[in-house]
Amino acid sequence: MITRSDDYLEYCRETAKGARDPHDLALRGRDKREITRLVHERIVAEVDLHPGDDLVDVGCGDGTLLRMAKKAGARSALGLLATDEEVAVLRRFGLHVQQALTDKLPLPDESASVVVCNNVLLVVPREKIPASLREIQRIAKPGARVFLGEIPFAQPPDPTPQFISRRELLSHLYRKHGLRTWFGMLRRMGWWAATGKPAVVCPGTAISFYAEPSDFIAMAQDAGLELVRYWQHEYPDTRNNYLFRRAS
Ligand SMILES: C[S@@+](CC[C@H](N)C(=O)[O-])C[C@H]1O[C@@H](n2cnc3c(N)ncnc32)[C@H](O)[C@@H]1O
């Protein structure tokens, strides 16, 4: 019997343990490197990142934005990641990162001129969203640009089916992700069998939070953020990006 776990932090941890390349931590899939680059180039443009900025990237994934910030001459660029395992991977590449969850940011008040949180809030449990928005507002300096990206505007269907048998799971992985993933799962199944450990898969595809623009904007305003503008994200187009500003 295979149990499915939708514990996203466990998925982050497992991915970091098996990471061959920092881009694995963007959690978009190995073939989406170009999309990760494009997404972050647009964020740099939207927040008008410039020399002297102090950037905090909440849920920084593979650290693409931190590298871009260094190139842009930012004074500081700190990335936060949900697990110590992800932190260990990015530190090996010399990036300034630390472990933190969105609803408890280990940073002083008013420490960032730019706060980015892209493709992260959708995996945060809904009840933690108000506290997460308050934390983001707290660490933002007066007048700071705050980019909150990839918020689904409706509940998307979960693309990963439940698996009744190991054969079904293997054939799904082969069709969706190819031979390497198929083989990786086969090895894990061998390990489960040899150790007697429970067979648990963390597909990382379940969405915890989505909101219509009016609801999300109201939540952010309650936390003290002022809307600058919002627009539809392109990859995928079922999400919105929001640019806010902390009042001066
Ligand atoms: C899908 S990746 C997005 C990475 C990057 N922002 C991007 O757009 O490519 C999700 C990121 O959110 C982080 N994350 C997941 N849950 C989190 C939470 N509750 N608090 C803070 N970060 C979280 C993970 O560590 C991971 O870096």
Atom of ligand 1 nearest to the CA of 64: 9
pLDDT of residue 167: 86
Closest CA to 123 of 210, 215, 18: 210
Nearest CA to ligand 1 atom 12: 59
In this structure, the number of other CB atoms found within 10 A of the CB of residue 245 comes to 15
Cα gap 234→187, rounded to integer Å: 36
Say how many Å lie between the CA of residue 73 and the centre of ligand 1. 24
- Contacts of 124 by beta carbon, 8 Å cutoff, 6+ apart: 102, 103, 132, 208, 209
Q: Ligand 1: which of 8, 38, 123, 127 to mutate, judged by most atoms within 8 Å of the beta carbon? A: 123
Q: Which pLDDT belongs to residue 75?
A: 98
- Taking the whole predicted model, whether its pTM rises above 0.85 is answered as yes
Q: How far is the CA of 152 from the centre of ligand 1 (A)?
A: 15
DSSP assignment of 212-238: -HHHHHHHHHHTTEEEEEEEE-SSSTT
Q: Which amino acid is at 248?
A: S
Domain boundaries, the chain: 7-156+206-246, 166-201
Q: What does the pLDDT read at residue 201?
A: 80
Q: What pLDDT score was predicted for residue 24?
A: 92
Is 102 near ligand 1, meaning CB less than 6 Å away? yes
Superfamily the domain 7-156+206-246 falls into: Vaccinia Virus protein VP39 (3.40.50.150)
User: What pLDDT is stored for residue 30 in this prediction?
Assistant: 80
Q: What is the pLDDT along the chain (248 residues), one digit of tens a residue?
A: 678 778 899 999 989 998 989 999 998 988 899 999 999 999 999 999 999 999 999 999 999 999 999 999 999 999 999 999 999 999 999 999 999 999 999 999 999 999 999 999 999 999 999 999 999 999 999 999 999 999 999 988 877 777 778 888 888 888 877 888 888 888 888 887 888 887 878 777 789 999 999 999 999 999 999 999 999 999 899 999 999 999 88
- The per-residue pLDDT for 212 is 97
Distance separating alpha carbons of residues 215 and 231, to the nearest angstrom: 15
- CA gap 69, 25 in Å, rounded: 18
Residue to mutate (ligand 1; options 120, 126, 207; most atoms within 8 A of CB): 120
21 Cα–ligand 1 center, Å: 16
